[in-house]
């Protein structure tokens, strides 16, 4: 797992009375969609309530979330927001929560939330609790494809279980990929891709169309529905993103951090 330069912004301020949470798309969000869920169900709000219970005290804040990471994209947007809330609250109120406790709280919110509390690049195993930080290496430049499609994470994992009931982890292959620099365009692999295509067949059609147009492999991010193309440098990533946008699909150049 690696972080990329596309991010949401979370601003916290202490409040003198009750909490207030707001959420909206940033003006430069590359692929906004309706925010059609109750804010009290959002993962960042749940993270606040969880740490408040753990601390045993009121943590009154005004929290403003400006989103850029697309919904249902398989990019961990909500999970990163939850991790940011935990870390920011802990700092703002000087809670000094034990690292192990903070990680356990993060794990209860989602298997990928603990990753966002640590290093920008890591091998993540188990249910997300086994995190092996990786040393910072050469920056990887990507053209990120952001279709209007969305993939439900739980549905994709169910489809994966049906497609590959006896699948096993190839630890050596994952470690080779994590340490391969420069990363070749056909290097990344994603065992969830076929499951994502099963859940959302239009994603396969778009992947194939983009690959033909760009003349290079196109990969699915996580459980989808975002995709990416490995570029040689920042200029190449921008050029690829422009070509994708010209075809009518949102895209942006990003880098791994």
* pTM for this prediction: 0.94
182 upstream amide cis, omega within 30 of 0: yes
Q: Return the CATH fold of 141-255.
A: Alpha-Beta Plaits (3.30.70)
CATH 3.30.230.10 location in the chain: 9-125
CATH 3.30.70.890 location in the chain: 141-255
Pick the CATH number of 9-125 from 1.20.120.10, 3.30.230.10, 3.90.950.10, 1.10.10.60: 3.30.230.10
Instruction: Kindly write down the DSSP assignment for every residue of 151-200, as one continuous string.
Output: --HHHHHHHHHHH-TT----HHHHHHHHH-SSPPTT----TTHHHHHHH-
Residue-wise pLDDT tens for the chain (257 aa)? 999 999 999 999 999 989 999 999 999 999 999 999 999 999 999 999 999 999 999 999 999 999 999 999 999 999 999 999 999 999 999 999 999 999 999 999 999 999 999 999 999 998 898 999 998 778 999 999 999 999 999 999 999 999 999 999 999 999 999 999 899 999 999 999 999 999 999 999 999 999 999 999 999 999 999 999 999 999 999 999 999 999 999 999 999 97
What span, in angstroms and rounded, lies between the C-alpha atoms of 37 and 40? 9
Q: How far is CA 122 from CA 137, 189, 221, in A?
A: 12, 16, 16
What span, in angstroms and rounded, lies between the C-alpha atoms of 36 and 192? 26
Q: What is the DSSP letter of 116?
A: G
Give the H or E element holding residue 107: helix 99-109
């Amino acid at each position: 797992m690696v972080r990329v330069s596309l991010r949401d912004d979370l601003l916290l301020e202490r409040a003198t009375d009750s909490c207030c949470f707001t959420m909206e798309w940033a003006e430069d969000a590359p692929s906004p969609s309706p925010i059609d869920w109750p804010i009290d169900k959002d993962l960042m709000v749940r993270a606040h309530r969880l740490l408040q219970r753990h601390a045993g005290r009121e943590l009154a804040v005004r929290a403003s979330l400006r989103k850029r990471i697309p919904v249902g994209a398989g990019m961990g947007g909500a999970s990163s927001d939850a991790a940011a809330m935990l870390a920011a609250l802990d700092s703002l109120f000087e809670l000094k929560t034990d690292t192990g406790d903070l990680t356990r709280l993060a794990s209860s919110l989602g298997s990928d939330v603990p990753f966002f509390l640590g290093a920008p690049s890591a091998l993540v195993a188990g249910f997300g609790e086994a995190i092996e930080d990786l040393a910072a290496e050469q920056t990887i430049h990507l053209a990120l494809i952001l279709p209007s499609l969305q993939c439900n994470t739980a549905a994709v994992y169910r489809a994966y279980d049906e497609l590959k009931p006896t699948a096993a982890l190839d630890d050596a292959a994952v470690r080779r990929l994590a340490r391969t620099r420069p990363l070749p365009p056909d290097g990344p692999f994603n065992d969830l891709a076929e499951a994502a295509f099963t859940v959302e067949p239009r994603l396969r059609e778009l992947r194939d169309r983009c690959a033909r147009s760009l003349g290079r492999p196109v990969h699915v991010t996580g459980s989808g529905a975002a995709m990416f193309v490995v570029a040689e440098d920042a200029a190449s990533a921008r050029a690829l993103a422009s070509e994708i946008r010209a075809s009518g699909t949102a895209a942006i150049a990003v880098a791994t951090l």
